[in-house]
Amino acid sequence: MNNTFDKPITTSIANIAPGSRRALLDACIAGAEASHAVFTRLYPERARLAADHADALNSQAASLPSPLAGLSVSIKDMIDCAGETTMAGSLVRAGAPPAATDAPVVARLRAAGAAILGKTNMTEFAYSGVGLNPHYGTPENPADTMLARIPGGSSSGAAVSVAAGLCVAGIGSDTGGSIRIPAALCGLVGFKPTARRVPTAGAIPLSTTLDTLCAMTRSVDDCILIDGIIADRALAIPALPLRGLRLAVPQTLVLDGMDAQVAEAFSNALDRLSAAGASIVTCAMPVLADYVTFGYFSSAEAFAWHRKLLAQHESGYDLRVAKRIRQGALISAADYIDLLAERAAWIGRIEALIAPFDALLMPTVPIVAPPVAALEASEEVFFRHNSLLLRNPAIFNQLDGCAVSLPCHAPQSLPVGLMIGGAAMADARILAVARAIEAALAATVSG
């Protein structure tokens, strides 16, 4: 198995001792250089400069620009770093002009003192929730040292960079779950904010309607910190005790097809939350099933961006990615305009339904990470698993909402994610609920 070296980072940002940034970073660089298919580029020298600067400030008792200063962060390979071509997990962009500037999220991380360790591998052009990449290899999920399992996608390398202890945060994108799916499968925290809060400029788009830039970390507090940096505005997170919170568990669609491990972990999590005083309310919510209609946004908008590149270089694409993008050619302008109106009406109905609750709860994904080999061997198995992985997370993208995936599995078990979600601009409340749930579940979750 690959990526089974000792983890340099095993704790959240607040627990990392000051004055040790360079030594920690050197261990992360060594691990990154030894890793398989996690990174597509490494930036060791510039990262060391950031770590040395943070250590120098610490030695002088000077203020750091942020708690992130000098700590390793990874950037998904669809986000611009100045001076190099953004490849987006593909080969067909070879020779495209290099980025003139850093994407705003990268510039904000650098200003906060982050040591950008490298660009991470991903599903080609971010178009699947599985994480396979035939061009650069597939990062293996560190949760299982005996069997190569998928990391989830599309932010596959981002997840493994954090789960393998090489970075305190992996910056990626979430269009239909591409942060929360790998967070769930790799045992991490993943936060998808309301899309409009974080600029997507400088990132190769999948769906301009749904794309969100965000992060995976080891804790809710770390996600809160990273979100404040890349959004350029820290949220005021209220202190919410679990007792008295009203948490809705929809019964339509989102519980279908759970494997035994997910079903047990989800049930146990609800029991613990109820015992801690939260009110768990089951609700039918059949309107949730209508979200599948809006899946055409990604294919239509992806085809608009890719159509010229596909015409010239389709043979260089991952065939499964090209197949999904080409579906967008079948959607007319009239159909697309209808989708916009239908989605707006659907959002209104959902927001009215969930208004009485503090958050929605559901399994992030209904299965634990399947073996890589099974999905590589069969297109039917690949697309069936891809649909299962995307199903629940995509609801919140279509809702234009926000959601957190938290680990909720028992120690020594394969990771399972619990998703806490809400409507647009409910980010502070959802993070507060997630922080309270994280504390309640801490005793049952593997480290």
**DSSP state letters, 59-84:** HTTPPPSSTTTT-EEEEETTB--TTS
Any residues with CB less than 8 A from the CB of 326 and at least 6 apart, and which?
303, 310
Q: Which of 128, 111, 213 is nearest to 170 (CA)?
A: 213
Q: Which of 372, 392, 391, 367 is nearest to 382 (CA)?
A: 372
Any residues with CB less than 8 A from the CB of 312 and at least 6 apart, and which?
none
Any residues with CB less than 8 A from the CB of 348 and at least 6 apart, and which?
none
Neighbour order of strands in the sheet with 359-363: 39-42, 115-120, 72-76, 169-173, 213-217, 189-192, 402-407, 417-422, 359-363, 246-250, 279-283
Instruction: State the catalytic residue, choosing from 74, 90, 128, 154.
Output: 154
Strands 359-363, 417-422: parallel, antiparallel or unpaired by DSSP? Answer: antiparallel
Instruction: State the catalytic residue, choosing from 66, 72, 76, 90.
Output: 76
Active site residue 178: yes
Cα distance between residue 299 and residue 327, in whole Å: 6
Eight-state DSSP code of residue 141: P
Instruction: State the catalytic residue, choosing from 128, 178, 207, 219.
Output: 178
Q: Which of 412, 435, 433 is nearest to 421 (CA)?
A: 433
DSSP H stretches of helix in 170-318: 180-186, 220-230, 260-275, 296-313
Handedness of CA 138, 35, 38, 259 (dihedral sign): positive
Residue 74 β-bridge partners: 118, 170
Scan for tokens 């601009």, then name that residue.
425
Q: How far is CA 283 from CA 76, 362, 397, in A?
A: 37, 12, 20
Active site residue 76: yes
Any residues with CB less than 8 A from the CB of 178 and at least 6 apart, and which?
123, 126, 129, 153, 154, 155, 172
Active-site amino acid positions: 76, 154, 178
